[in-house]
Structure 1
């Protein structure tokens, strides 16, 4: 068993319009913890289907419990307000290169 690169450690969320379940395959540690917690709390809605030695898990869950949240970019006004708040409350300002959209 070889170590996988970060590129190979993917997350795949799959469902179709004909079924009521969604399948989630992931290596992401945060998502794995959230799915594990959810499946313990709601075993009728979510269950672990498979776990691999490489570190991936596959969960099957009721797709009505799954949502995708799209977050728009912050406005210049909100960024300016956040910068001002950080300066007033002693947060360190870190200069970064502008992100490429």
Structure 2
């Protein structure tokens, strides 16, 4: 969606306090908007869309605490990266579609 906003202006704000049982999310991120909208459709008692700005593509949601999480992941060290690469190469034969090397 073309909004006229720069990537720097397309922000995601997540705010909550210790008292309120809700988390408030305001985002331009397409993937997050889709995921929150789908979740709100499936669980309207836990999450709801509160606003949308078609001019900027921004959407706002309220979601109950405990339904939204942040996942922190440790960076791969060189050994783990190498092992993951080897495992992927070893199991590449399990792909459902053959890889065509001569296609440009």
Give the alignment's TM-score, normalised by structure 2: 0.78
Deviation at 1:45, TM superposition (A): 0.7
Number of aligned residues: 90
CA distance in 2 between counterparts of 1:62 and 1:18 reads 12
Unpaired stretches in structure 2, ≥5 consecutive residues:
94-98, 100-104
Cross-structure match for 2:73: 71
| Equivalence for 2:64 | 62
Q: Distance in 2 between matches of 1:37 and 1:71?
A: 25
| 2:36 alignment counterpart | 35
**3-state SS, counterpart of residue 33 of structure 1:** helix
Q: Which residue of 1 aligns with 2:96?
A: none
- Give 1:9 deviation, angstroms: 0.2
Give, in whole Å, the separation in 1 of the partners of 2:22 and 2:32. Answer: 18
Q: Give the SS at the match of 1:65.
A: coil
Q: Any gaps of 5 or more consecutive residues in structure 1?
A: 92-101
Q: TM-score, normalized by length of structure 1?
A: 0.80
CA positional deviation for 1:75: 2.0
Q: Shift of the alpha carbon at 1:84?
A: 2.4
Q: Distance in 2 between the 1:45 and 1:84 partners? A: 42
Deviations 1:36-66 (A, max 9, x none): 1100000011000000021000001101211
Which SS does the other structure have where 1:58 is aligned? strand
Q: Is the 1:20–1:64 contact (alpha carbons within 8 Å) kept by the matching residues of 2?
A: no
